[in-house]
Structure 1
Amino acid sequence: MYLNKGKANTNTITMSKQALRVLNNHHSTTIIFNSLNTTTLSLPQTRQIHAQIIRIGLHLNSHFTTKLLSLYANHLQFTQSNNLIKSIQHPDVFTFSTLIHAYSKLNHFTQTIYFFSQMISHGLVPDTRVIPSVVKSCTGLYDLKRGKQVHGFCLTSGLFQDSFVQSSFIHLYVKCGQLSYARKVFDEMSEQDVVSCSALVSGYARDGCVKEVKLVFGRMIEIGVEPNLVSWNGMVAGFNQSGLCLEAVMVFREMHLSGFKPDGTTVSSVLPAVGDLEDVMVGVQIHGYVYKQGFGSDKCVVSALIDMYGKCSCVGMMSLVFEEMPDRDVGACNALVSGFARNGLTDDALEAFNRLRNQELELNVVSWTSIIACCSQHGKDIEALDLFREMQVSGVKPNAVTIPCLLPACGNIAALMHGKAAHGFSLRTGISDNVYVGSALIDMYANCGRINLARLCFDRMPIRNIVCWNAIMGGYAMHGNAKEVIEIFHLMAKSDQKPDFITFTSLLSACSHSGFTEQGEQFFNKMSKDYGIKPRIEHYACLVTLLSRAGKLKEAFSTIENMPFEPDACVWGALLSSCRVHNNIKLAEMAANKLFELEPNNPGNYVLLSNIYANKGLWKEVDRVRDLMKSMGMKKNPGCSWIEIKNKVHMLLAGDASHPQMSEVLEKLDNMSMEMKKFGCLPVTSFVLQDVEDQEKEHILCGHSEKLAVVLGLLNTPQGSTLQVIKNLRICGDCHDFIKFISKFEQRQIFVRDTNRFHHFKDGLCSCGDYW
């Protein structure tokens, strides 16, 4: 009896343990179930729950594993998700759908497409809720090929009939620029809703298809689909992006008249178009609307206002909007700096930029690139180089836009070492293959006299556009290498790249520098006859230069008289410059009088006429022109030259004695002049355009800036090294002869770039053949 009682007690204890285990498992399951339904679990907590699921044997339960998959996806644990799904013996559609939705929502498009492929490989057919997430991923990756494959799958599986699926494909084709496919899907839709209509309208607007926009918009009204704010904003933003500024403003106006209230997105989309149109009255009206609707705190709207006023040259209003901004951000600062730069107010742009830096505002790559471009475009090249160094010190990494903005500054002052450093940076960062970086490098090396390096950059470019071809042709033209320019033009034709008006400007310029008169005239005629490019004013200026430099002044004047439009200062200036070469006073006076009408405040025209009179010894006429300049408050631009020595750019002004080595330079210059006389090379005093004694004329010639720069280079560089000088005016004949002598006497190769072209001096000869 006692034994049976003991056995019963043992069974009771055993049963209690089993019941307890079941109870505990049930309690754990409940806790796990409740935990998995929250979205705030950290990654360590998720892993702990995963371990508990395995411990109590719930890892085969698809409900729990699917929840785990979603949590791992939210924590971007791609490997863990992949391993987990592999451990499931029979994953279903819901299992994969969970991952696809999660990764699509987080914009991890590659993973989304990967799990969709896994789903198909398991023989599972997705439902209509999965496809839009997959198509969204193809859209985000601009993967048109895979998107078309998904489209084909949907057609064969019958999933394409769903309106959400159809709408997702419209977005895909619009985003990938395949508007014909988007329109075909749109036309096949059983129910064309506002989402699909808005997407198609926006796509057509971005592509500049005004007619198609009107057709689809009319279709919306016809089928009773009322446009919403997204529809209107898509059209305004699209037309603005495609450069159809007037259409963008007209849509904005129509939107307002239709009773739709534009929001901050609408306003910030239309203001750039208003700025491009320079319609400040419309801009002021929109500005008033901004304040009425309380958009003054919207940073995007305020930045767009600043940008608009800058484009409309309303610098005062631009500054006022910025100063009234309660919470300034980097976008508004960039718009302010760009506005000053656009209006040529470089000093104001620099001041604003430095003030913002001192306020410890975190400026970005756009801020630095804008100010570097501003300085580079407006003659502050040394400041641009300094800013580029400061940019890197501040920890902001230059990009493929910064480098093309900096390189012109290197080229402008022949800062070759700085240009090479920028080239090295572009190689290290992998942006040298960018066509705009490559074009800027070609231009920089050509401007620095290294046309061979420019050609090397061109030959190594994997992809070339018209900008690249024009850059190398322009470089060769600047160096007077007409044969190479023509050769590049023929290579361009073989590569099926169509020339543009800039191409022919380079061709005609090169022919004029090299005296290729017949070839130049042929290219001028071919431009319109063979390529359908109507000659512009710059082409006529090149043709006038081509003819007049060859001594055909009558033909040049006849060309001006028969131009299809009114000749501008460039055309008359080309004739006046050639009159100086050929001493034709009658035509010179006619051209100068035209220039005085067109550019009354340009001292260069008065100086050029004065020089022509001085060459003929007509000193009374010289005095008359100079008195006229004086009465108008004009001064002759001083000659200025730059030379780079040991990574430092030196600027020398004609007659300026402020350089610390000037006494050594003048002493060396005197010695060189004496050596020249020993060899029978006398100063060409006719280039001194003042009525003074010959001895004084020789003294004046010694002060020319290009001579000072060359001698400074001789003093500070190793024997045999190349010198590079940039001058802001045309090199005079005496300096040309002096540098030819130096190149032979000192055994140096010397590059000089003046306003007309490059001169390569070597062994007493110049590449221009004394024709410039």
Structure 2
Amino acid sequence: MAFISNSKLLRWRPTLRPFFPNPLSRSSTSTSLAEPLSDPDHHTQPPRSEPQSRSRTSSQPNPELIICRMMANRAWTTRLQHSIRSVVSKFDSSLVWNVLHSAANPEHALQFYRWVQRAGLFVHDRETTLKMIQILTRYSKLNHARCILIDAPKYNVPWDEDMFVALIEGYGRAGIVQEAVKVFQMQKERTVKSYDAVFKVILRRGRYMMAKRYYNAMLREGIEPTRHTYNILLWGMFLSLRLDTAIRLYEDMKTRGVSPDVVTYNTLINGYYRFKKVEEAENLFVEMKGKNIAPNVISYTTMVKGYVAAGQVDKALEVFQEMKSCGIKPNAVTFTTLLPGLCDAEKMTEAQNVLGEMVERYVAPKDNDVFMKLMTCQCKAGNLDAAADVLKGMIRLSIPTEAGHYGVLIENFCKASVYDRAEKLLDKLIEKDIISRPQSTYEMEASAYNLMIKYLCDHGKTGKAETFFRQLLKKGVQDSDAFNNLLRGHSKEGNPDSALEIAKIMSRRGVPRDAESYRLLIESYLRKGEPADAKTALDSMLESGHLPESSLYRSVMESLFEDGRVQTASRVMKSMVEKGVKENMDLVSKILEALLMRGHVEEALGRIDLLMLNGFEPDLDRLLTVLCEKEKTIAALKLLDYVLERDFIISFSLYDKVLDALLAAGKTLNAYSILCKILEKRGATDWSSRDELIKSLSQEGNTKQADVLSRMIKEKEGSSVKKREGKKKVSAAT
């Protein structure tokens, strides 16, 4: 529980109001309670009063503040020291104390403290030495504070218990228990104040055995423990989970005639709740009221917390109502203790009422997690309006809202198909750039932003969805569903370039793209009349490991073919065949024909070879016929040569067609070469124009080729006659 230290009041001095903030002034002690057993120094007595500086009339100069301003704005040099001397003719205890008190930071105070001593301007007394030690320990400059304490007797400043207590507390705040104990042991004379300080330090670190030894030593020295001493010891024992020891201390306290106060009871009640001893805590609460010790806000908050922890939320509500009926206003800790319990007990109506009271009284809690829990539980219970009120309450209390809070509401509004409200929340989220805020505790979950992005992309608002998602990207989100929804949305809206940009980002970040997104992107490019980009997207689809449907292949090939990009269509065809897609053969024939007609014969032959290897048989007869009719003799020649080389079977009439076309085109040597191959592969031929070819070869001076061809024809015909006669004899004998 929070406690207030039991120290002597320093010498009171008239008040001086500085014209700039004083970072070293002691802040007011808060009565709020985050953890009832956290610190025993905020419970027993009013805060220690600091000595204040000497007041002056408006007509009098203010040398202390002038000196502090000079130290804050200038480096500590000899020139600055001369300037300070020019401001003050005589340094007295009041002036030095006031300068130390108002210095902008502890370094300035320490420089000034040492300078006035070394320069012989002032001999420090008990007040200025104590003030310097307090400043240094408050800012964890413990070595400097220790040196000043040790050196104090050298400058005729006797050691004072408050100096030791300040240093002990400083080491305690820093968690350095051993040094705090050493300082405590340095004291020659100690009172209960020093023991209280060391108890607090060692018990905060769980050293309950050491605390018991010092307690016994204190009693041996004849120092009587005070109520504050027992409060610290009880707090520490409960903190160390030493219930039996705490009970013995409480009994010892009553034996010594030390009456408990509200802090004692608060500590005991909270301690019993730690051990799930609800009945004992209730008895203590009744006993406290029976002794006319009025429970305070901490008492009621402790009871509420105990009941909530024990799962008795109805009793926690009763105590809460009793508290208000007694005129005690709940603080932030009371609300943040009760609200989670109501949520866990599914008392959402009561939780909504308590939240409304907290907002109405403008009580802002330190622990903002309660709002997320409230919002989540209200959504789970189906109370979307109440959940939205939680967000409004946060805004009214000036509590920073985070993306996670909006995300809970957006997700549940989307699930309830209340998309208009979800979109309004999203607009605020984007407008205020809440997602990009650094050090957020609650980020938006994928289940929230994916639902919102999908809705926007399905309803023609992909641009807004992308703006939203790009803010998420800055936070490191790499969600595949969100990316693919954006890709599909842009494609369906006819913005394939935007979709392709999303696809590129996905590629750079290694985010997988699904087949449906690619299909929509390709179709979007085709609708826009950009088949080349569609082919690029198709290639990317294949690289990602997806197999396009045969209809998608056909759409891309047709679009490229109609756009005159025959070779590009041929490459798509090649990819299709390699993937084993057996449809679209009619379109394949058209592409092969176009390649041959345009003179891309080698490419066409390569495609035919690929088709054959994969079990497809293109219509070679038709291709040769078309080429001859279109007088593409060279293409026909190469195709026929390809057929002969691979012993493909075609109609015999096609040989004659190709030879006739070559002869008609005056390509006698080409006709001669292919006829020779025909004779070698197929034997004798009855081509009617062969004599005309021999005559043309002779007239063109190619007599050698004419003679060779004549001999080959005669040999083939002779062998053919012999074969026919042999067949007749065999048949006759038979």
TM (normalized to structure 2)?
0.46
The structure that has the greater radius of gyration is: 2
